[in-house]
Amino acid sequence: MNQGRPLPPKTPSAEYARSVASELPALYKLGIVGASQIARMTHQAAVKLGITPRLLAEDLHDSAALAAPAAVFSHPDALAAFAESCEVITFEHERLDLGLLQRLEDDGTVIRPGTRTVRAAFDKMHQRRVLLNRGFPVPAFAEVRGPDDLLDFSGVYGWPLVLKSVRSGEPGDRGVWIVENAQEALRVMSEQSSRQLMVEEYLAIVKELVLVLARRPGGSARCYPLVELSIDDGAIKEIRAPAAVGHHVATESRELSLRLADELEAVGILAVELFLTTNGLIINELAARPHNAGHWTIEGAPTSQFENHVRAVLDLPLGPTWATAPAIVTINVMGGLEFIDPADHLPEALTVEGAQIHLYGKQPLPGRKLGHVTAIGDDMAQAQSLARRAEAALMGRRAW
């Protein structure tokens, strides 16, 4: 119904455009800090619910900024100004100024997840300490302030060891080095002298698993089925849902992750990366945002992780999280050394019927996530073959 507003003229004048612009809500319900593919898919899920989030991008060519209203991050004060224009703000990455975030939260800005959770996700050393103090299983670890710390640790745990940067790096910068001996370790330390490092025991990993859950401010939560990862050169290559593990491992993963979410008062999606070892489950890492291991939920669950993140941070009822098929496989489409743009191969990939293609609109660079494909099957081999064919087609390889 037209509530008294004049009908638009056939050729809208600048004056008309200004009058419409002045009617736009001054306050966005939801603001997302970051504008890469996670923000892009979260934005799409919010739009479905009639919510148009605003983004704080670093560049107008960021994946989500190409598809959504975005402010550009050009000044350290941008986050504070951005927060003022939103009812609730959430994040797609953890590379944030925690001091500023804390001040905003203290001043009443609604930040979800809150600073407490973000700090645990951002700083691996802090995360390990918090988890250890609360009795969660984590690898043995130590802070590395100099060679002596490292050599003391190797005296107890031997070699190889794992050196890690305490802070999350930029996308594509893993900040993880498996070192075989003292010489290699000291070389990494001198190359990374500007970064704060920690050392961890090297675990014999049987499977790499991720439990993705959504949690509302009041504490109600839902878990997605546990998934299993294939890692290639330190990066996630393939995600299989559900993980091929026994009932006991699936239940323990769920219980550990829910307890952890309660301890951290997590809100939104929390992804808990787990190692299954011969000594049981060990928590590797947390991400307080939608995670690569949950992309399959767009087609494979009644409510995607992105929609449940939006619902949770806005304190709306969560949707069901079960898998809608017996086997679901997601394969990441990664930039290689050779310049191949998957967008150029979209027509071939679309002939792989049943595979769901997602491209993020990003320029190809080696090691960069450019998209993903998801396939659903009656069994894992069928879903895997479909997803692999679609990924191969996107990368200009013939896989059939």
- Interface with ligand ADP by CB under 6 A: which residues? 139, 162, 174, 176, 200, 202-203, 205, 208, 231, 234, 273, 284-285
Q: Across-strand partners of 91?
A: 33
Query: For residue 73, what are the contacts with CB-CB under 8 A and spacing of at least 6?
Result: 56, 57, 58, 79
Q: Which is nearer to ligand ADP, 160 or 361 (CB)?
A: 160
Residue with smaller CB distance to ligand ADP, 85 or 277: 277
Q: How far is the CB of 268 from ligand ADP (least distance, A)?
A: 19
Using Cβ positions, the residue closest to ligand ADP within the complex turns out to be 203
* 242: its two tokens: 């559900």
Backbone φ, ψ for residue 96 (5° rounding)? -125, 160
CB 346 within 8 A of CB 359: yes
CA of 178: how far to CAs of 50, 160, 200, 207, in Å?
46, 7, 10, 17
Shortest CB 226 distance to ligand ADP, Å: 16
Of 1 and 204, the one with the shorter C-beta distance to ligand ADP is 204
The CB-of-351 to ligand ADP minimum distance in angstroms stands at: 33
Q: What is the DSSP letter of 76?
A: T
Give the whole-angstrom CA distance, residue 396 versus residue 400: 12
Kindly state the smallest distance separating residue 161's Cβ from ligand ADP, in Å.
8
Minimum distance from CB of 283 to ligand ADP (Å)? 11
Give the span between the Cα atoms of 134 and 177, in whole angstroms: 27
Smallest separation, CB 151 to ligand ADP (Å): 18
CB of 280 to ligand ADP, least distance (A): 14
Distance CA 321, CA 311 (A): 13
User: Which is closer to ligand ADP, CB of 83 or CB of 271?
Assistant: 271
CA distance 276 to 286: 15
Name which of 269 and 376 has its Cβ closer to ligand ADP: 269
Closer to ligand ADP at the Cβ: 168 or 308?
Answer: 168
Are 334 and 172 in contact by the 8 Å Cβ rule? The answer is no
219: left (phi over 0), alpha (psi -120 to 50) or beta: left
Alpha-carbon gap, residue 115 to 169, rounded angstroms: 19
Q: Choose between 54 and 289: whose C-beta lies nearer to ligand ADP.
A: 289
